Chains A and B, each alone.
Chain A
């Protein structure tokens, strides 16, 4: 019996995943925005180019500045190289300064992002799927409360969360940063929209008729269909955790648990404190090292998150 059932469901899975996997992307390509083939405009390109310059010049400044020594920074013009090319020295210095504390911050950040953003994505995927494909008691209430919560300023929650966590003994531990990162209302919303579009009800029906349990159906049938949405949500939760500053600022006292953002900030402030040694070249090089992984992730995964986003905007 099993052998007659599985090919059918397998072929259905295959065709459906082909279809919905490429639908968002195909859609963006096929639907040309404006009728016909508009002529390209130099004027419009130049005007948009101004915004492009505005976006890129600070990043160019950062890259160029990361090649300079501390003296070179004040000596040379900001948007051009100084005589000494000190990028490698700066990178080595960044990682070794103060007994390699930067490496520690980097690892902390990876830990917070891995558990925080990874967990947030998992919860959002599970929850979004439930909202999209199940009718359960309290579904509307869950939805209303979560959407309402988006409007609550995160920082309004910070003080009470800190006090709560401090009575629970969680402050100054990684959990204080990870646990609040686990909730992404935006991620839940995006997964809900995405799952309603990308997972055909007939497919779920077929899997259930085949006797697959809910978990099995979820992992083997649903999860592959949700891939572009998952990439999108994980990228955005990753950015949120990687860039988090306020939460670790209030939760962590011990520099050993700092993420990169907090650490860089403490280096920057070092010059302002009495007797502190200014290490601006390290702040700049450290900043560059901090943003490279995220920019790389966005560039490499473009195709996925852009199709995920356009699917998300269908319902807006």
Chain B
């Protein structure tokens, strides 16, 4: 701490500047400037560029020409896009509640103080988060195998005939399982961290009122962590709509069940990198981004308003 000595040539000390929030000057830009600069390059510029791209089209005659909103019109009538959107919406409605429900139950169990080996539970359930989505999918892909995988082993050992998890009817559920496995612990930790900071006095008050465990959970704990619940829900919605890694890695294992337009993201990827339709791909991405933002915004408004 001796290094805190002011420079030897201490200039006459100016009047102490106002500090913190009162200090309205450009000094803050020195610190946030680098972030904003890179942010503009990798977030804002691509957004502007993709809006620009979406207004043009590569035509057979005359090269790239301005087409106004034609690409958007095409996207809104594109059955492949709607089918992909339907798939991720179904995924969202089933997988996200299951995942967040399990995460919440585990967080409440950890927070209740009634578990043996609490910290072991907390860290172990969180660990899958550290596994890359690609590795998780490769792993589960192996295990799903009905011939060499764990599913096949179980069938053989118990004389069962479990259905193929990678068949067209089940593959979405199998992807849901992988995503749940990856993120249950992460969400659990978010909820748990929020539960830990609930002031103790609230519990004491509840105890005096003779409130039971369930009542404490519904009247104190859940309202107190509503912010965390809303944030986790929004992140999960965004994650579901962006679904790409899992289906694209499984695609080679289940080429009949997973098409290259399986999710909206996969579709934009294929349009751009296999089809070279960059303009249309950018349009689909924008439409998808807008839908995501609107839904995230609605969830946030509703979530924050609910129950005072």
Cβ-closest chain A residue relative to B272: A159
Cβ-closest chain B residue relative to A280: B142
CB distance from B12 to the nearest CB of A (A): 10
CB distance from A82 to the nearest CB of B (A): 12
Give Cα A49–Cα B118 distance, bound, in whole angstroms: 11
- At the interface with chain A, which of B58-66, B78-86, B278-286? B278-286
Interface residues on A, range: 35 or more
Describe A's contact surface by its main secondary structure: helix
A161-B42, A290-B135 known; A316 and B227 CB under 8 Å? yes
CB distance from B11 to the nearest CB of A (A): 8
Give the residues from 18 to 60 in chain A that come closer than 8 angstroms, CB to CB, to chain B.
Answer: 27-28, 31-42, 44-45, 47-49, 51-52, 54-56, 58-59
| Chain A residue contacts of B8, Cβ below 8 A | 2
| Chain A residue contacts of B242, Cβ below 8 A | 153-155
| Chain B residue contacts of A108, Cβ below 8 A | none
- At the interface with chain B, which of A87-95, A98-106, A241-249? A241-249
Q: A124 touches which one: B35, B102, B150, B238 (CB < 8 A)?
A: B35
User: In the complex, are the beta carbons of B32 and A79 less than 8 A apart?
Assistant: no
Type the 1/0 row for B1-31, where 1 means its CB is closer than 8 Å to any CB of A: 1111111101001001101111111111111
Give the residues from 33 to 60 in chain B that come closer than 8 angstroms, CB to CB, to chain A.
Answer: 34-36, 38-39, 41-47, 49-50, 53
CB distance from B281 to the nearest CB of A (A): 5
Q: Does A135 make an interface contact (CB < 8 A)?
A: yes
A137-B26, A151-B297, A309-B189 known; A291 and B148 CB under 8 Å? no
Q: Does B184 make an interface contact (CB < 8 A)?
A: yes
Type the 1/0 row for B118-138, where 1 means its CB is closer than 8 Å to any CB of A: 000101111111111111101
| Chain A residue contacts of B5, Cβ below 8 A | 2, 5-6
Q: Does A85 make an interface contact (CB < 8 A)?
A: no
User: In the complex, are the beta carbons of B138 and A264 less than 8 A apart?
Assistant: yes
Q: A269 touches which one: B2, B41, B207, B252 (CB < 8 A)?
A: B252
A73-B148, A212-B6 known; A48 and B143 CB under 8 Å? no
Q: Does B234 make an interface contact (CB < 8 A)?
A: yes
Q: B293 touches which one: A122, A151, A242, A298 (CB < 8 A)?
A: A151
Q: B20 touches which one: A151, A205, A250 (CB < 8 A)?
A: A205
User: In the complex, are the beta carbons of A123 and B265 less than 8 A apart?
Assistant: no
Type the 1/0 row for A254-293, where 1 means its CB is closer than 8 Å to any CB of B: 0000001110110011001000000010011001001100
Residues of A bordering B, CB below 8 Å: 1-2, 5-6, 9-10, 13-14, 27-28, 31-42, 44-45, 47-49, 51-52, 54-56, 58-59, 61-62, 65, 73-74, 77-79, 122-124, 126-127, 129-131, 133-139, 142, 145-146, 148-164, 179-180, 182-183, 188, 201, 204-205, 207-212, 214, 216, 218, 220-221, 239, 242-243, 245-246, 250, 260-262, 264-265, 268-269, 272, 280, 283-284, 287, 290-291, 294-295, 297-299, 302, 306, 309-310, 312-314, 316
